[in-house]
Amino acid sequence: MAIQLMVRLQKIWKQAGLSLWLRPYNIFITSSNSAMIEFMPDTLSVHALKKKLSQHNQPDKLQTMAQFYRWYYGPRFEEAQRNFIRSLAAYSVFCYIFNVKDRHNGNIMLTRFGHILHIDFGFMFQNSPGGFQIGFE
C-alpha cells in the first residue's frame, strides 16, 4: 500500500509542476505473507555508509551530510545537493501524511546521484514498532 500511495503522490506532484523525488519500487507478492522486493542498485544505507567510513578511518568525512556530500560528490556537489533536497522534501511529506514510523539509518538509503530513498514501510498509520496501541514516533 505504501508504494501505491507513493506512486499516487508522484502523479499529484507532477500535475502541480513540483520537482519532488520519490522512488517507488516494484514488489512481487509470492504468498499471503511474503514477497520479493526490487533490488536498488547503487544505493547504500546511511548506517552502512557510517560503518564503512569508520572502518576506513574516515569518520570525520561524515560529521555532517554536507561534509560527506562535498567530499564524495566533489564537482557534482550542487547537483547531488539538489537531488538530496528534492528527495528529502518528498519523503518528509510522505512520511508525515501517512504517519510512517521506524525511520532510522538502516531504512534510509543514499543513491549514487545524491537522493535519499526510504525503504521498509512496515509501520505506518496506526501500526507501531513494539506493538504499542498508540505509536509515538
- Residue 26 scores a pLDDT above 80: yes
With cut-offs at 50, 70 and 90, classify the pLDDT of residue 125: low
Three-state DSSP at 134 gives: coil
Mean pLDDT of 1-23: 92
Choose among 3, 117, 96: nearest CA to 49: 117
Domains in the chain, please, with CATH?
Answer: 41-131 (1.10.1070.11)
CA distance 113 to 77: 10
Residue for grid cell 539538489: 82
Mean pLDDT of 88-106: 89
Can you give the pLDDT at residue 134? 55
Tally of residues, the chain = 137
Burial of 78 (0-12, 13-18, 19+ CB in 10 A): exposed
CA distance 71 to 62: 9
Alpha carbon 58 to its chain's center: 24
pTM for the structure as a whole: 0.81
Can you give the pLDDT at residue 130? 56
- Residue 128 scores a pLDDT above 60: no
CA distance 64 to 62: 5
CA-based R_g, the chain, Å: 16
pLDDT more than 70, % of the chain: 84
Helix 77-97, helix 65-73: angle, nearest 10? 140
